[in-house]
Amino acid sequence: MLSNSFKWKHYEGKMILLNVRWYLKYPLSYRNLKGMMIERGIQVDHSTIMRWVHQYSLELEKKIRRHLRPTNDSWRVDETYIKVKGKWKYFYRAVDSDGDTIDFMLSSKRNRKAAKRFFKKALSYNHNKIPILITVDKNPAYPPAIDELKNDKILHKDVGIRQIKYLNNIIEQDHRSIKRIVNPMLGFQSF
């Protein structure tokens, strides 16, 4: 439980969660948050805020996942590669046609198995609607992965797939989200 996580902390749990939430939601740096806390009469170092984000962001994500608003049934899926702790990884991500995040995943490989694992992960959450149409780029791993999910009856047989590179621009414009998602969990480095 999240409230037990603040035992023996120097700062109050509400203040810690406020800093973590602000960092994850808004384009603020740790130093920005330090300045905001100083304005409120609270002395806290930016590295302390960074440790809070690393410690509590995953736990917070688990708690709020079930309260997320439903996504729609038109998915845009893409992957890019980023450097995490000095190693290159593939960052799979999906958004709906409104730009709301469906899910994301890091993988060391860019193949059918990784794509299938990502789709199964995205489909496992209650707030994600089963897609009617999935738009992907020209990655050849997506069609076989989607076909396997249809054969396994995880996806309905009528789910359409569009392989059009430029319809995924809604994802391509969202590079800032990569930093926001990966940084607190895995030590993001620029790509």
* Per-residue pLDDT at 105 exceeds 50: yes
Does 179 have pLDDT greater than 60? no
pLDDT of residue 85: 80
- What's the pLDDT tens digit per position in 1-48? 465 666 666 777 788 888 888 888 888 899 999 999 999 999 999 999
Q: What is the average per-residue pLDDT within 183-189?
A: 46
Look at residue 3 in the predicted model and tell me its pLDDT. Answer: 55
Q: What are the structure tokens assigned to 45, written together?
A: 């170092």
Domain check: are 154 and 137 in the same one?
yes
Of 5, 52, 13, nearest to 33 (Cα)?
A: 52
Same domain, 95 and 185: yes
Both 100 and 180 in one domain: the answer is yes
Number of domains in the chain: 2
Residue 11 is classified by DSSP as S
List the domain range (segments joined by +) for residue 184: 74-189
| Model pLDDT, residue 145 | 94
pTM, 2 dp: 0.65
Instruction: Mark 101-139 as b/e (b = at least 16 C-beta within 10 Å).
Output: bbbbbbbeeeebebbbbbbbbbbeeeebeebeebbbbeb
> Which of 67, 91, 121 is at the close of a domain?
67
Q: What pLDDT, on a 0 to 100 scale, did the predictor assign at position 26? A: 84
> Average pLDDT of 155-160?
91
Q: Is 109 in the same domain as 21?
A: no
Pair (165, 89) in one structural domain? yes
